């Protein structure tokens, strides 16, 4: 139960940070830095309890890699998506009504952008937080948070920079994205994570 609570807390603060820094009045060019830092500190705070996924796609990658059980995968997803709902509800108390506007995306470009950087995120997570060669390191939270920050700066203007199905749901619930585009993020995020996990196993074997 503790690990599900940690996943809820970490995902909540990640989604809340996205909303509070992206919805006007926003943090401008510092938003990706704040979002990456939010993920980093939550990973350092809760990674020793739950693994610090805070992302349904990352949980899928860790499951494929063999470091999360099938019985834990669904509760992780429930905690993460529930956190997105709660964070999206809370953000409305901090931002003016109607201040959020859906971000227009091109489907093909957004699919590719979300796939590539979710792949990168899952790839980094698996290599710094689950690999034997980096066991007991002290940099994993920074590496993961910086990956999200890099992706947000690189392709945030293309897709919005979710790289996370829970964040994508939060974007929709907060009015930053449309329900009709949610599938783009779900397909790209889960697909990128799955391919990253398969690639990890090819490179590293079963360890």
CATH number of the 2-204 domain: 1.20.1080.10
**pLDDT tier for residue 205 given thresholds of 50, 70 and 90:** confident
pTM of the model: 0.95
Per the prediction, the chain carries an average pLDDT of: 96
For the residues 47-71, what does the mean pLDDT come to? 96
In the chain the first and final C-alpha atoms are separated, in Å, by 28
Is the model's pLDDT at 79 over the cut of 80?
Answer: yes
Is the model's pLDDT at 97 over the cut of 90?
Answer: no
CA–CA separation, 46 and 37 (whole Å): 14
- C-beta of residue 159 within 8 angstroms of C-beta of residue 182: no
Check residue 98 and give its pLDDT. Answer: 86
**pLDDT tier for residue 99 given thresholds of 50, 70 and 90:** very high
- C-beta of residue 81 within 8 angstroms of C-beta of residue 56: yes
pLDDT tens digits along 131-176: 888 888 989 999 999 999 999 999 999 999 999 999 999 999 999 9
Report the SS3 class of residue 37.
Answer: helix
For the residues 106-119, what does the mean pLDDT come to? 98
CA–CA separation, 192 and 207 (whole Å): 22
Higher pLDDT, residue 205 or 10? 10
Q: Residues of the chain with pLDDT > 70: what percent?
A: 100
Is the model's pLDDT at 81 over the cut of 80?
Answer: yes
Cis peptide before 64 (omega within 30 of 0): no
**pLDDT tier for residue 86 given thresholds of 50, 70 and 90:** very high
């Amino acid at each position: 139960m503790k690990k599900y609570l940690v996943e809820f807390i970490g995902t909540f603060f990640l989604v809340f940070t996205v909303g509070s820094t992206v919805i006007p009045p926003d943090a401008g060019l510092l938003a990706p830095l704040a979002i990456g830092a939010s993920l980093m500190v939550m990973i350092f705070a809760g990674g020793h309890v739950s693994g610090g996924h805070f992302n349904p796609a990352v949980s899928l990658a860790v499951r494929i890699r063999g470091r999360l059980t099938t019985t834990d995968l669904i509760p992780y997803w429930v905690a993460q998506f529930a956190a997105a709902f709660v964070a999206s509800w809370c953000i409305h108390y901090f931002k003016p009504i109607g201040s959020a506007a859906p971000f227009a995306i091109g489907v093909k470009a957004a699919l590719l952008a979300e796939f590539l950087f979710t792949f990168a995120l899952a790839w980094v997570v698996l290599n710094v937080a689950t690999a034997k060669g980096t066991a007991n390191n002290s940099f994993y939270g920074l590496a993961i948070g910086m990956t999200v920050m890099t992706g947000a700066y690189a392709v945030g203007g293309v897709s919005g920079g979710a790289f996370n199905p829970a964040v994508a749901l939060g974007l929709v619930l907060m009015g930053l994205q449309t329900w009709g585009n949610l599938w783009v993020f779900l397909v790209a995020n889960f697909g990128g994570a799955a391919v990253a996990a398969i690639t990890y196993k090819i490179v590293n074997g079963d360890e």
